[in-house]
Structures are given as C-alpha cells and as structure tokens.
Chain A
Amino acid sequence: MQLIGYTCSYIPVELLALTGFRPYRLLHGDVDSSKRGEKFVRVDACPMVKSNLDHIFRNQNDFAALVGSTGCDMSRRMLDVAAENTRIPVLVFNNPRTDNRTIFHDEIDWLTQRLERLSRRQFNPASIQNEVTKWESMRVELRTIDERRAANPSQVSTASFHEVMTAYCQGAFDRDVSICRERADRPRVYLLGSAITYESNAILRLIEDHLRIVGDFNCGLSRALDIRIQEPTLAGIEETYYGQPPCVFKRPDRRFIDHVRDETRRLNCTGVVAWTLDYCDAYEFELRKIERTIDLPVLRIRSDFSLQGSSQLRTRIEAFVEMLCSKT
C-alpha cells in the first residue's frame, strides 16, 4: 500500500487514512541520513528535517502524497524542498499559531477536499465514522499501555512504548502492540522537547537505564493519544484536533506551559528530561521558562542523533539521578 506522509500532530490521521493510503508520520532521524539530507538544505537545518528529506528522496516511489503544516517553519519549508526535488504531490496545511479556530476549520475543509481529489474518493459520514472508530480504538489500546507506563511504580518503559507508538505513527495496524511488563522503581521523570524519531530508541534506553520516563510531550510518543474524538464526524475531528494540548509553537504559549506543569504534577515526576535537536528553536527558546514554571530539576539533552557522546551523556544522567535521589 502506498504511503501518505505527514509531519504534524495537528493533521488528522483519520482523513489521511480515508484516502486508502497508509498514513506515515515523517519521523526519521539518524546521523547518516541527516548527513545525506545536507544535499538539500544547509548544515544548520533541523537534523530530523534533514533525515526526513533523505528518507523521502530515497523512497519517493512509496509516497502517494505528503501533507505538511505550518506549525514549524523548517517543517513547512521541508515540504517546499520535497516538492522541488521529487514528483510527490505536496499539501501544506495552514495551522494557525494563534488562537484562530476559523482558519483551522477552513483548512480542515480544504484538506478534506484535496484528499478526496487526490484519492478520487468521496469521504461520506459513514466512511468518516468508520475511520474514526478504527483509529480511536487503536488509541484506546495504546492509552492502556500509556497508563501502565504512568503507573506508580511504572510497569512499562518508554523505550517499549516508543516501539508501539512507532506502529501507530507508521499506520501499521497489523503490528503486534503487546508489550512486556518492565516494572521500575527508578526516579520518575517527564520527557519533553523535539520529536522522538523512529531511530531514537537507543537514546530512550540509555536514559531509562537510570530513570523511568512516565510521561512525555513529544511528537513520536504520546502526543497522538491526546486526540480523543467524541463525535465521529468531520466536525468532531476538527474540534478535537484543534483543541488538543497545544504545541510549543502556539502563541501565546501559556496553555502549553500549563499543560506540561500539570502533567509533571499528575504523574508525580521528580525531574524533567528536555530533549532538543540542534537548531530546534522552539524548544531551545522555551526551556528557561519551562524550568522556571515547573520548578523541577531539568536535564537538557541536545542532540544531532549522534551517539558519539553517549558515555558523557551516561555520566550526566547518573549525576542527574544522584541529584534527584538526594532531593527525595
């Protein structure tokens, strides 16, 4: 089945699936592909964007279309680069940064029409309801795993959770999402920051050798589970995707900051791990404020996907754990 690539948590996966193509979130990121991506963009572009460009270019026959959003400037421009270098049809969804429901709803209507034309299918209420039900049941299943991850003590590692979320992000319903129990009494931390790419599992495992990530606000992990569509209609999709906990790009950022603070409290976290990719402006600018607001120790990890500094990182994580333990 051909893929329909997408880049943003605000793009309704149900609408993409209605085309008959498999929704595939563009979340690639490793050192080699990032390096290869520099064929298209400068070295100081986001490493994930570079990796995604490389992936798109090398697998262009797999993609029926790409759907992006204006959420992040580099992601938006990535679609421009893809359009110039491949023959894949590209649709860019105008995701407002400010509280502007009208634009969002109009854009969903536009996207629906364009996807119908692309797939030569008419999306009717029954097909929409069917697709929403299918994705919602997948999310319900994943939420039960997320709840076990969040339990105290935590029963599921985020590294394992990442593997099942990868299946969701790649639209792979046929994959087994069962997961083994990995109880841990290590310090409970919250993860936030740039997207967790498909190839980043090793970094999660490195962190969780010493800590247990019990919640997160990262694309590629649990953000998709914040989508809870009550009304299985186009209006229900619009309302739910618009009202999800806001992305760091939204202005003003108050609701995002409040959400992160509330989650760290709800999950009884004693610390936060902030994972940012090189040149990810949104998070780099916000970290100081996040630290101030949540009033928890923050371990900053900045990455270009390289594991060259893993020994150093391990030492930093150990020092962070010591600090957290000394506080409790």
Chain B
Amino acid sequence: MFEDIAPAKIGLEEWSRQFACVSDDLIRRYTYYGNNEWGIYLSPPATFMVYGARELKKLKYDNSLAALRLWGFTFNESERLFRARQNGMRVIATMGDLGTVPVIVMAFPSCIPFYPDCTWWTPFFNESTVLLDKASELGVPEASCFVRSSLAAFYKRAYFPKPEALFASTGASCDDYSALMQMVQDLGHDLTWLEIPYRRQRHEEDDPEEFCGTEQGYQYAARFDNYLANEYRRVWDKMRALTGNGDTAELKRSIRKANRLRRLVAKIKKTAGQASVAPFPALEMMVVEFGNLYGYGDIDEWTDIVEMVHNTVSERAAKGTGVLGPDAVPIAWITPTADPLLLNVAENLGARIVETEYVINQAHVEIDENIDPFLALARSFMNASLIGSTSERVRRIRDSVNQGRIKGVIISNMLGCSHCAMETRLIEEKLKDLPVLSIDVPAPMGITEQLRTRISAFMETLR
C-alpha cells in the first residue's frame, strides 16, 4: 500500500520507483467518469513523457499520492475527451470566459466541457513548436499569445474531438483570443458568441442605486448583470436544444458542485499561503487553481482529488513540513506562465509563491446559490480579472503587500499579448514599494541561463 512519505519534490525516475509501491487496488480505485473498465488514470508521470510531454523530465513534482492523482488526471484529459465521444457523451468547447459557462454545460447529462484555451501549455509540455508553427501557417501573427496553439489544435483534430458546440466569449477581453476564436469559427465550427461586458468602476457622480457590488468589492452598473444573465440563458437554450434536456434544478446542483470545489481550493490556498513551510509546490498549486475553470471535465473526480490535496496540504501545514526550505522567500506571481518549468525554476532559485493572479479570479468566487442561477453566474463573472481596471486586478496582491505577506512580485508576460503590454507598467507602479521582476515567457525550450540569472538576481535582492 502506498503511504505518503516526507514531503519532497522529486523527478520522473524517482516517481517511477515510488509508483512501484502503488497497489493494483489503489490504481483501480480512481477512475474518471466513474467507469471502472476504462476510466483508470493513475500512472507515473513518466507515462506522459513517453506519450510526448518531454518537458516532464525537467520538472520536479510533489511526491504525494494526491499529486500523483492530480497529474494522472490532468494529463489524461485528451484521452478522456476522446473516450467521452466514443461513449456517446457530448464534448462542448467553452472558450474565453475562463470559468463560468462550464457550470451551465455540466448541468446537462453526459455533457463534458473543456477549454481549448488550455492547449497553450501543450507546446511547452511537449517541447514542440508544431502547434505554434501550424498557427502561423494558418495566419496567426507570431507576436501573439501562446494560446494561438489552440487554433492549430482545432485544425489538427488530434488533441480533442470535434466539439458538438462551442461557446466563445468576447467583448471586454483580449484581442488576440477574440481574433483566434473567429478563426476557429472560420474552420467551420458552429460557434455561439457571448458578450462579456466591461466592468466600469463607479464614479462619485454616478447614482449609487444603479450600481451593485460583488463580494470582493468590485462595483459595476447593475444592468450588466442582466446582460450577462441573458447571455447565459442563451447558452442554456442552446444546450437544451442540443440535448433535449434542461432542468434548472440541475443547474443549481451544478452551481453547488462548483462552489464546493471553489471553497476547497480557497482553503488550500489559504492554508498553503499561511503555513510556516510551503506544503505544496507552485506548479501543482497552479494546476489546482485552473481546475476551478471546469473540473477538467469531470468535476466529481477532480473535486475528490482536490479534497485529497487539501488533506495533504493541511496535514503538512499542521506538522510544519513541506517541499521548500523554511528560508524560501514569499512572492506573488502575476499572470500565469505558459511554460510550467518557470515555476520550478523560480522555486529552485529560492522563491515561494504564496499569492497568485492568474487572470481567473472569476473562477475563484462562490456563486450565489439563493438567487436565479443565471443571475448568480453573471454576478460571479463580474469578478473577472481582465474585464476591469488594472488597479482592481492587483488589489488582492496589494492587500497581501500591505499585510507584509510577500516580499516581491514576478510578472510573466507574453510578447504581443494586449493586456500584458498595457498592464505591466501599471502593475509595477501599483506595487512600487516592492521589488517587481517582469519577465517574458520565452518560446518552448527557450528558458535560457540569462533568464535564470535574472530570476536568481531578483531573488538575491529579496533576501
């Protein structure tokens, strides 16, 4: 029987050796879609390197069973989506909103949401420019977000099955992804466009009665709730037409499930951030955070995994054990990195990431369970990271600075990405009483000694 040993970050070979202790019973216990026949996903991370994720050999992983489940489940997603299609389930692409539309999709039986957007990690995990090169061939400029790989993935039809419906959110969002979704539509997909409104801050001259606020303190014109709620009703109608089903009680149930996951992740983040020693690595924490978007298409199993992560993190925090040294310097990381290796690099150089702003704030807030579900979803989305001002976006980081919880900030940018280009200087200004390092995420296999030296020098200044 496998038992967690002293927490550590280990490499692929060590994980493979450790995996020998995992019993067959344990392997059979964890399945996706609740299917015992073909739904097994527990395997050593090296399996996925063999499948093509070559960067895995450079990464270090948490050595817990929870982490093993986490990696097995997330790397299994492509297989899972094709399995879903083979077994008559409906695969639904949700694009651009990062966290809300899947809650609606999951309310329909046998409907599996996924984010093609998340293909942006693939060129880095695979150490391959195949998808980026194909995107360029299709007409995407090279100076644009790495999410352009998702267009190539649609074109190649090898990374996920052709979705039966696509919901594309645009509006107060980044330009390149909006343009990219248009190109996906041009490939012949039946795409439903949704409008994301801009979260305009309340001005002193505004009538307060026309405004409402989120739990996180963002204020916006109340009518935006209705716009968004109507957009979500369109998603509902489209899904109902597609499936022949549609029970709002199921939507409420889906919201409750999403909230349970969000609460768990919030607890993990809090416990991990406050622990004397980092109980879980930054890379796995990022995977946990992004799971809030859609539970990687099987929210029940993913929530179970996150529950296990929570137990592991809590136990380690209580014991004062963890995966980094006690002298690791607490920092915040702003904007997710497309190259996961950067998080490892930062930790190896002495950083401990205790606060993040991964442009998915909307997926971290609880959805009101006591009001009309569409309105509740709309209100939760109004907390989104990228639909308002930069000062709103970094408010939480600013609060952590004020509380003395972090000593520095790393911002990872992408060349040509509209919000990176426009926000970085402002963020630096907003956090100017702290050292801030702004780096560009290089193309796959592009992390150079120069970049490592920059991060290393930055960490030196923080000590």
CB distance from A244 to the nearest CB of B (A): 18
> Which of B315-323, B413-421, B455-463 lies at the interface?
B413-421
Contact B178 A94 (CB under 8 A): no
> Which of B52-60, B168-176, B442-450 lies at the interface?
B168-176
Query: In the complex, what distance in Å separates the CA atom of A49 from the CA atom of B175?
Result: 14
Contact A285 B413 (CB under 8 A): no
A263 contacts across to B, CB distance below 8 A: none
CB of A284 within 8 Å of the partner chain: yes
Contact A249 B175 (CB under 8 A): yes
Given contacts A77-B419, A80-B389, contact A253 B182 (CB under 8 A): yes
CB of A96 within 8 Å of the partner chain: yes
Contact A103 B170 (CB under 8 A): no
Contact A44 B415 (CB under 8 A): yes
The 7 closest A-B pairs by CB, nearest first: A288-B139, A285-B179, A77-B422, A45-B421, A73-B418, A284-B141, A281-B175
CB of A40 within 8 Å of the partner chain: yes
B139 contacts across to A, CB distance below 8 A: 285, 287-289
Query: In the complex, what distance in Å separates the CA atom of A251 from the CA atom of B172?
Result: 12
Q: List 20 A-B contacts (CB under 8 A).
A: A39-B425, A40-B426, A42-B425, A49-B422, A73-B172, A73-B422, A74-B418, A76-B198, A96-B197, A97-B171, A100-B227, A103-B195, A249-B175, A251-B168, A251-B170, A251-B178, A278-B143, A279-B416, A281-B179, A284-B179
* Beyond known contacts A74-B421, A80-B426, A92-B198: 11 more, CB 8 A cutoff: A41-B424, A77-B418, A77-B419, A83-B389, A96-B197, A110-B221, A279-B421, A285-B183, A286-B179, A288-B138, A288-B139
Query: In the complex, what distance in Å separates the CA atom of A83 from the CA atom of B388?
Result: 13
CB of A106 within 8 Å of the partner chain: yes
CB of B333 within 8 Å of the partner chain: no
Nearest residue (CB) in A for B210 is A110
CB within 8 Å of A: which B418-452 residues = 418-426, 429
Q: Assign chain B's interface to a size class.
A: 35 or more
Contact A42 B141 (CB under 8 A): no
Given contacts A73-B418, A251-B193, contact A96 B425 (CB under 8 A): no
Contact A285 B422 (CB under 8 A): no
CB of B70 within 8 Å of the partner chain: no
Nearest residue (CB) in A for B173 is A73
Quick one: which of B179, B183, B422 contacts A74, CB cutoff 8 A?
A: B422
Contact B426 A44 (CB under 8 A): no
Quick one: which of B171, B176, B203, B425 contacts A285, CB cutoff 8 A?
A: B176
CB of A252 within 8 Å of the partner chain: yes
CB of A72 within 8 Å of the partner chain: yes
CB distance from B339 to the nearest CB of A (A): 18
Query: In the complex, what distance in Å separates the CA atom of A181 from the CA atom of B185?
Result: 45
Contact A97 B195 (CB under 8 A): yes
Query: In the complex, what distance in Å separates the CA atom of A43 from the CA atom of B346?
Result: 25
Contact A76 B197 (CB under 8 A): no
Query: In the complex, what distance in Å separates the CA atom of A100 from the CA atom of B173?
Result: 16
B223 contacts across to A, CB distance below 8 A: 106
Query: In the complex, what distance in Å separates the CA atom of A198 from the CA atom of B210?
Result: 39
CB distance from B269 to the nearest CB of A (A): 27
CB of B180 within 8 Å of the partner chain: yes
Provide the B243-267 mask, 1 if CB < 8 A to any CB of A, else 0.
Answer: 0000000000000000000000000
Nearest residue (CB) in B for A78 is B422
CB within 8 Å of B: which A252-284 residues = 252-253, 278-279, 281-282, 284
CB of A140 within 8 Å of the partner chain: no
Contact B185 A100 (CB under 8 A): no
Query: In the complex, what distance in Å separates the CA atom of A46 from the CA atom of B417?
Result: 10
Provide the A68-97 mask, 1 if CB < 8 A to any CB of B, else 0.
Answer: 001011101110110110000000101011
Nearest residue (CB) in B for A289 is B186
CB distance from A219 to the nearest CB of B (A): 15
CB distance from A66 to the nearest CB of B (A): 13
Contact B171 A44 (CB under 8 A): no
Query: In the complex, what distance in Å separates the CA atom of A49 from the CA atom of B423?
Result: 13
Contact A102 B178 (CB under 8 A): no
CB of B200 within 8 Å of the partner chain: yes
A310 contacts across to B, CB distance below 8 A: none
B417 contacts across to A, CB distance below 8 A: 44
Quick one: which of A83, A92, A252 contacts B185, CB cutoff 8 A?
A: A252
CB distance from A99 to the nearest CB of B (A): 8
CB within 8 Å of A: which B378-418 residues = 389-391, 413, 415-418
